[in-house]
Amino acid sequence: MKWIIVTGDSRGVGREIVHQILAETDFGVIGISRSSEDAAGELLAIYPDRFKPLSYDLTDVDGIKPLYMEKIRKIGPIYGLVNNSAMAYDDIVSNLNVQQLQTMFQVNVFSAMHLSKYAIRDMLLHKTQGSIVHISSISAHTGYKGLSMYAASKGAMEAFSKNTAREWGSKGIRSNCVVPGFMETSMSTTLTEDQKARIYQRTSLKKETDISSVASTVLFLLSDQAKSITGTTIHVDNGTI
């Protein structure tokens, strides 16, 4: 069996991605999040041999190597990686706090890059023509007050993805980004209803982005149906303008 790593799998779009992979493919899923093992009961009951939850704090960038060497690679060959886990540090630039900024970049950028590093090495070892999908954000493409620093972390991953695609395309390894619009997730709970309404008015469909639609797009990019798609970003954002 080949495996797909999904970070931030315990809730929101990450959990939906895991559900769709397990329900619609033959791949196994390695879920990584701080609460992955605690939230795994339902999926383990249905897919005891195809779902492996690992609890890990992605702010610990230096621990990614032992995580891979001691746990992930022993599970089986890696076919895919979905870098979904993210934390938001929302504030205006004049209030920038370096410690909070560093913590956000550790999760959103540095750990995602390190996981990509070991996923690619695993694909090369097993001669796997695999797929990497990074979950970006619409904030990297259009401005929102208070999100400049978060948007910068997502913009960094989009640039990383495009160049990764160029580096490893000759080995059949693909790298793409999915750019969701604003969704009803734990990261949006701090927004008031009025703030949400103003955000949704900037979209063509005038409503929040559907989580299952985002997950379905990720599943498509992981599949052979997307075997000629790499180095690109796909917007699932209700037509944000």
Q: What is the structure's pLDDT at 166?
A: 98
Written as one string, the DSSP assignment of 72-136 is IHHH--EEEEEE---------GGG--HHHHHHHHIIIIIHHHHHHHHHHHHHHHTT---EEEEE-
Q: What is the structure's pLDDT at 201?
A: 81
Residue with more model confidence, 194 or 77? 77
Q: What is the structure's pLDDT at 35?
A: 80
Q: What is the structure's pLDDT at 204?
A: 85
Residue 27, φ and ψ in degrees, nearest 5: -70, 155
Instruction: Clarify whether 144 is annotated catalytic.
Output: no
Q: What is the structure's pLDDT at 106?
A: 98
Model confidence at 30: pLDDT above 70: yes
Stretch 29-54: mean pLDDT: 89
Model confidence at 88: pLDDT above 70: yes
Among residues 79, 89, 150, 200, which one is catalytic? 150
3-class secondary-structure state, position 240: strand
Stretch 31-50: mean pLDDT: 87
Tell me the pTM: 0.93
What the chain holds in terms of domains, given with CATH numbers, is: 3-236 (3.40.50.720)
- The single residue listed with the structure tokens 């990297």 is 140
pLDDT tens digit sequence for 166-219: 999 999 999 999 999 988 765 555 666 777 777 778 888 878 899 999 999 999
How many CB atoms are located within 10 Å of the residue 145 CB? Answer: 9
Model confidence at 240: pLDDT above 90: no
Q: What is the structure's pLDDT at 191?
A: 64
Average pLDDT value over all residues in the chain: 93
pLDDT tens digit sequence for 139-177: 999 888 888 999 999 999 999 999 999 999 999 999 999
